[in-house]
C-alpha cells in the first residue's frame, strides 16, 4: 500500500477534515465535566480513546485515499440541493403549518424532481398527505400536528 502520488490533493481533503474532527473530538472529550464516577475509567476515557483512534485512521486515509465517486455537478447538484431544501422546509413547516401542508408540499416537490407532470405531482402530494394522515391519525391513533399557525399560538 505505497502512497499513491497520482491521487489529486482534493481527494485527501476529506481525510484532513476527519483529522480536524478527531482533534476537536479529543478536545471536547477531555473537557467533559463530571462530579464523580463509580468506575475507574470515567466518562472521558472511552470517547478520548476513540478520538485518538479516529485521528490515526484519518492519517492513514490521507496517505491511502482509496476510491471515491465523483461529486454531483450542474443540474444534478441543483436538483439535489433543491430536494434537500424542500425536505428541510417541510421539517420547519411540520408543526407550524401542520402535517397536511408540509407533507403535501414535500411530496409534490419531490414528485416534480422525479419528473412527474404538474398534475401527477399534485396528485402524489395531496393524495399521500391525506392517505398518511388518515392511516396514522385514525388507523393507528398517532396524533400528527395540525399546525400552530392555525391554532393561534
Partner 1 sequence: MSLDYLWTGFAVALQWHNLLFGLFGCFLGTVVGALPAIGPINGIALLLPLLYTLGVPPESTMIVLAGIYYGAEYGGRISSILLNVPGDAGAVMTALDGYPMAREGRAAEALALSGIASFIGGLVSVVALTFFGPLFGQLAVGFGPAEYFVLMVFAFATLTSMVGDQPIKTLIAATLGLVLATVGLDPTSGAYRFTFGEPELHDGIEFIILVIGLFSVSEVLMLLERQYAGRLTLLSVGRGLPSLATVRSCIGAMLRGAGIGFVIGVLPGTGASVASAVSYTTEKRISDRNGTFGKGDPRGLAAPEAANNAAAGGAFVPMLTLGVPGSGTTAVMLGALLLYNIQPGPQLFSERPEIAGGLIASMYIGNLLLLILNLPLVQLFVRMILLPNWILLPGVLALAFLAVYSAYASTLSIVITLSIGVFGYVLRKLGFDLAPLILGFVLGKVAETNLRNALAISGGELGIFFSSPIAIVLWLLAAVVVVLPLVLRRRGVLS
Contact positions toward partner 1, by CB under 8 A? 14, 18, 25, 28-29, 32-43, 46-47, 50-51, 53-54, 57-58, 60-61, 64, 66-69, 71-72, 75-76, 79-80, 83-84, 87-88, 90-92, 94-95, 103, 106-108, 110-116, 120-121, 124-125, 128-129, 132, 136, 140-142, 144
CB of 46 to partner 1, least distance (A): 5
C-alpha to C-alpha distance for 82 and 115, rounded to whole angstroms: 14
Q: Which residues contact 42 (CB under 8 A, 6 or more apart)?
A: 34
Q: Which is nearer to partner 1, 19 or 152 (CB)?
A: 19
Per-residue burial over 64-76, b if 16 or more Cβ lie within 10 Å, else e, is ebeeeeeeeeeee
Q: Which is nearer to partner 1, 5 or 67 (CB)?
A: 67
Phi, psi of 19 (to 5 degrees): -65, -45
C-alpha to C-alpha distance for 89 and 36, rounded to whole angstroms: 43
Q: Which is nearer to partner 1, 45 or 152 (CB)?
A: 45
Q: Length of the chain, please?
A: 153
CB of 152 to partner 1, least distance (A): 19
CB of 121 to partner 1, least distance (A): 7
CB of 118 to partner 1, least distance (A): 11
Helix H or strand E segment including 126: helix 118-133
Amino acid at each position: 500500500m505505497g502512497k499513491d502520488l497520482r491521487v489529486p490533493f482534493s481527494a485527501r481533503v476529506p481525510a484532513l477534515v476527519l483529522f480536524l474532527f478527531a482533534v476537536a473530538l479529543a478536545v471536547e472529550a477531555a473537557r467533559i465535566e463530571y462530579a464523580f464516577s463509580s468506575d475507574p475509567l470515567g466518562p472521558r476515557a472511552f470517547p478520548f480513546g476513540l478520538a485518538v483512534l479516529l485521528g490515526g485512521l484519518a492519517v492513514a486515509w490521507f496517505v491511502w485515499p482509496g476510491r471515491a465517486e465523483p461529486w454531483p455537478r450542474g443540474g444534478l447538484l441543483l436538483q439535489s440541493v433543491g430536494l434537500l431544501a424542500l425536505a428541510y422546509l417541510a421539517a420547519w413547516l411540520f408543526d407550524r403549518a401542520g402535517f397536511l401542508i408540509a407533507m403535501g408540499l414535500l411530496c409534490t416537490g419531490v414528485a416534480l424532481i422525479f419528473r412527474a407532470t404538474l398534475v401527477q405531482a399534485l396528485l402524489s402530494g395531496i393524495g399521500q398527505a391525506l392517505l398518511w394522515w388518515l392511516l396514522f391519525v385514525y388507523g393507528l391513533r398517532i396524533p400528527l400536528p395540525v399546525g400552530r399557525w392555525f391554532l393561534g399560538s
